[in-house]
A and B are shown apart, each in its own frame.
Chain A
């Protein structure tokens, strides 16, 4: 998976060598006869050898369980999982991402994992960050555990900040506004608010906002921070509440009123501008870390997005979860027990530490405290890993996120006032949800 970053074998070996954990054989909860289980995942990019190596280690340390792993593109799995379940040929363990998991749960394709099952497999669910673990929950039941995570973060350009006299990375709305104003200069060297300031010809600016789905995740984060959400308790779209409108309006004002962000911009253009030292703050996926680390003479840092809203810290996150698809009646209980043991081992701290070499954030609390991360830029967000929220919990992901992303685009580009754009998005989403409901439980 490309967005999950790519760090090679060197880092993997580094993690193994310097990590605070040792890849010791954990106590296996499975004591039954020898079984073979199938494992389907979508880690087909540079993360594939890391996953294959972990599976090999599991097989070596568990003589009575043989895991046969298959890697295939995520999209293929999303299209095949239901037919596989329907025909009784689903793999024993499947990795499902945050944007698909609730759909499969509500379609009845995944098996709930009961507290008793967690206990039997020695899985302490508190080992994971709570919102991350809850990503795989639906109507009070759990359906999987996280093994990989990404998040929306805020990169900052240290050199430009210093040049502009900004000494502190902003953590709230007021600080962001002050810092962004300080970072903004037009081609003639004038600042926002000064006479003759030309907002159309910026030389440097405060923050990168842009039009695609990644850009829309800034709006999602701000809405959460304001106490809003994408859906209401009945899971209908409601990203046009006063909290949501207020949060998105603040972001749009950064472009239209404050002139501290470029209008009509694209992710690529902002990415280039940030690397070239033209913009102080670049909110985006943490998967760009690797790219910035490879940019010569580039001094940057990574921070949790500033709290724009007035309720809580929050940012968007993506994740991958180990799940148990529904099997035919008469399914071998030994296979289920072996699958749970595999889930336990794969999601445990030592293995999760190895997995972070692929660019994933820790999914387990203990890993986030590992010394390995102390000197790395990404550690800037580790104290707030508990505030990362996936766009999950409703089965109609496409029906909500498509219109939401569209609404952000129209608002950011100034094609519609914020309220109108969000209202239109909610209206479209709810019409589609009404049509989708009969297909879900």
Chain B
């Protein structure tokens, strides 16, 4: 017979070889903590140290330069200031345009493909499949599609509709079109799958009740589907925004950041500074400033959306 006292926590001794040892929970955490310290805390700390020095591997002494590389980002006469902020604006623009498309299109597709229509599984697979391609394959594909002269898009515009050629790859502004269209095509399937899973969690009885009340399809979508999917939308939006801010491969392959750095993303510029200019300390400083901005941004986003979520639940 089990007595209640067997299950209550006991004060154990530090060196006792049983479950009552107060170190036990920490021992369970140890493997993860070790990886976390070695692969996250240490590199981040080391990166911070690098950003305060003029990092030189081949020298015994690393010159301490304090905030020099951070100050460069706020000194308009430096290339770092000019290009870092330009690339940040570029990346923000990309995020602002691509996120609503990626969330909206995913929701639309999920709602359409949740119904028992003919060939549903095939369509789901078709929309999901581009996501398994590597960014280079996807990038080359969309670069070809939107090439100024030989691209399919321009050929169709010209041959079938008699429209003038658009210089997609060499015109500021237009150069975003292949990048954004390519990204949506490439990643929308993943978000769609998340929405499909969430749709499966909505009880049919809610819709049946709405049917009895005489609600039409739009009213049901607006007043049932959207609010009940809100937690999923929050998750998808936050992850999509963070992924969009990490834009790199698409710009690299499709436009190489051009024309005139107009599609160069922050990560691309940090990479250029680190591995093109070999200014590793400067690149580290940029990475930390960018990371801090992301952190602030994510906190604000979570707060706003959680507030929104709570409000919609109270309704």
Contacts and interface: CB of A to CB of B under 8 A. Distances in A.
Interface stretch (B21-29, B192-200, B258-266): B258-266
Contact of B170 (A83, A266, A273, A402): A266
A266 B149 contact: yes
6 contacts: A75-B275, A79-B275, A269-B148, A398-B272, A398-B277, A402-B277
A424 to B, nearest CB: 10
A409 B278 CA distance: 23
A137 to B, nearest CB: 20
Contact of A103 (B143, B149, B278, B282): B278
Interface in B247-292: 256, 258-261, 272, 275-279, 282
Interface stretch (A15-23, A63-71, A170-178, A431-439): A431-439
A415 B258 CA distance: 12
A212 interface: yes
Interface residues of B, number: 32
Contacts of B151: 269
Interface stretch (B50-58, B90-98, B230-238): B50-58
B280 to A, nearest CB: 9
Nearest to B68: A435
B278 A268 contact: no
B144 interface: yes
A402 to B, nearest CB: 6
Contacts of B73: none
Given A262-B149, A269-B149, A439 B278 contact: yes
B167 interface: yes
Count class of interface residues, chain A: 35 or more
A144 to B, nearest CB: 18
B201 interface: no
Contact of A406 (B144, B260, B279): B260
A265 interface: yes
A431 B278 contact: no
Given A269-B147, A272-B150, A402-B276, A86 B57 contact: yes
B167 to A, nearest CB: 4
B79 interface: yes
A112 to B, nearest CB: 16
Given A82-B58, A272-B149, 15 more contacts: A75-B275, A79-B275, A211-B169, A264-B148, A264-B171, A265-B149, A266-B169, A269-B148, A398-B275, A399-B277, A406-B261, A409-B260, A432-B79, A436-B278, A439-B56
Contacts of A331: none
Contacts of B256: 212
A264 B167 CA distance: 7
Nearest to A211: B170
A396 interface: yes
B78 interface: yes
A107 B58 contact: yes
Contacts of B279: 435-436, 439
A266 B260 CA distance: 15
A85 B58 contact: yes
Contact of B275 (A78, A107, A268, A410): A78
Given A86-B58, A398-B276, A439-B278, A431 B147 contact: no
B157 to A, nearest CB: 15
A334 B258 CA distance: 51
Nearest to A267: B147
B105 to A, nearest CB: 28
A262 B148 CA distance: 11
A410 B148 CA distance: 16
A79 B276 CA distance: 11
Interface in A361-410: 396, 398-399, 402, 406, 409-410
